[in-house]
Amino acid sequence: MNAHISTIGIVGARGHTGAELIRLIAAHPALALAFVSSRELDGQRVSEHSDAYAGELRYESLDPAAVAAKRADVVILALPNGKAAPYVEAIEQAAPDTLIVDLSADYRFDPAWYYGLPELTRGDWRGERHISNPGCYATAMELSIAPLKDLLAAPPVCFGVSGYSGAGTTPSDKNDPEKLRDNLMPYALTGHVHEKEASFRLGIPVEFMPHVAPHFRGLTVTTNLYLARPLKREDVLQRFHAAYDSEKLVSVTDEAPWVSRIAHRHHAEVGGFAVSADGKRVVVVATLDNLLKGAATQAMQNINRALGVDEYTTIPVPL
């Protein structure tokens, strides 16, 4: 690895994903945290909010022009959907060589941006300096469907449940522990942005029904796949092993994975592979930590590749 240290800044660092990014960056040998922008935490020390970071750096409230003026080598936009464009425009004008990684949905449908789901799109990267990081649910759905995509007879149907960290830090019913207690809350049952994203990226219609549960982190997606011709379970397994056995951050499991086992882990697990008696319906279960492989870890894979260092630098890889 080269000894060059790249500077990196985070916009929207107050959120749960921002905290995970700070942890990964603090341990990264080729990255130095240059700024962290948060309106709510302006002036406070980063080290007071992150046990992983030691240093004098303080949160700042930075508008797009101020972010661009920092001229960091890498800028991560960890903002709510619809907020990225002014920052992208300011950075493009002031420092066009900056690597921008957007964690929102704002550029996931933009062909000028590289869509960074490395296990499926690694071969598509053409040195783009603009990277759109996939959605957490969309990552799980795409990993579940891709190995059987060419055999489908109907749209995949995905039932999803996530922890309430996926609802962000702005108060709502979907991240209110009292309302979630002993509860499962369905929402956006058609037309969810991750449904559109998975459909767009896979090139097939995908149907998705999300729910939020009382746990904090981790999501599970159970996907029903109707096949045009019957398959034996070993054929299904063989396809998934062929797709992912060389991947350090996707683990193919025989049993259906449990969401409780994926919290704080950096990889996705895909398993179950229940096949109907006629061999024409397969049910696949995928789990991942929505803050890690669903957000911060995946962003770090993309940044590492764009910087030319090992893709898994600073990422704790499962044994």
- The pLDDT tens digits for 69-88 are 999 999 999 999 999 999 99
Using CA atoms, how far residue 65 sits from 12, 32, 69, 148, in Å, is 15, 21, 6, 46
Residue with tokens 């396809």: 239
- Secondary structure tally for the chain: helices H, strands E: 10, 14
Rounded to an integer, the average pLDDT of 121-142 is 97
| CA-CA-CA-CA torsion sign (315, 34, 169, 306) | negative
For the purposes of burial, counting CB atoms within 10 Å of the CB of 49, is it exposed (0-12), middle (13-18) or buried (19 or more)? middle
- pLDDT, the chain, mean: 96
Read off the amino acid at residue 38: S
How much of the chain is helix, strand and coil, in % rounded to 5? 35, 25, 45
Rounded to an integer, the average pLDDT of 143-163 is 98
pLDDT at 202: 98
Tokens of 73: 């080598």
Distance (Å, rounded) from C-alpha 298 to C-alpha 134? 8
Distance (Å, rounded) from C-alpha 7 to C-alpha 98? 10
Tokens of 162: 């996530």
pLDDT at 260: 97
Distance (Å, rounded) from C-alpha 130 to C-alpha 113? 5
Is the confidence at residue 3, as pLDDT, over 70?
no
- Name which of 32-36, 117-121, 174-178, 252-256 the model is least confident about: 174-178
Rounded to an integer, the average pLDDT of 32-60 is 96
Find out whether 256 and 272 touch, Cβ atoms under 8 Å: yes
Indicate the helix (H) or strand (E) that contains 155: none
pLDDT at 39: 93
pLDDT at 266: 98
Distance (Å, rounded) from C-alpha 70 to C-alpha 7? 10
Read off the amino acid at residue 137: Y
pLDDT in tens, 190-228: 999 999 999 999 999 999 999 999 999 999 999 999 999
Distance (Å, rounded) from C-alpha 102 to C-alpha 75? 8
Is the confidence at residue 15, as pLDDT, over 60?
yes
* Residues assigned a catalytic role: 136
Look at strands 219-226 and 281-288 and give their pairing: antiparallel
Of all residues in the chain, the percent with pLDDT exceeding 90 is 95
CA-wise closest residue to 32 among 63, 11, 55: 55
pLDDT at 13: 83
pLDDT in tens, 290-313: 999 999 999 999 999 999 999 999
Alpha helices in the chain (DSSP H): 16-26, 46-49, 64-69, 85-94, 118-121, 136-145, 177-180, 193-202, 233-244, 297-307
Strands, E, within 146-215: which ranges?
A: 157-162, 185-186, 207-212
Tokens of 14: 């107050």
pLDDT at 1: 43
pLDDT at 167: 86
**Angle, CA 271 vertex, CA 105 and CA 219 arms, to 5°:** 40
Is the confidence at residue 169, as pLDDT, over 90?
no
The answer, as to whether pTM is greater than 0.85, is yes
Is the confidence at residue 140, as pLDDT, over 60?
yes
pLDDT at 318: 87
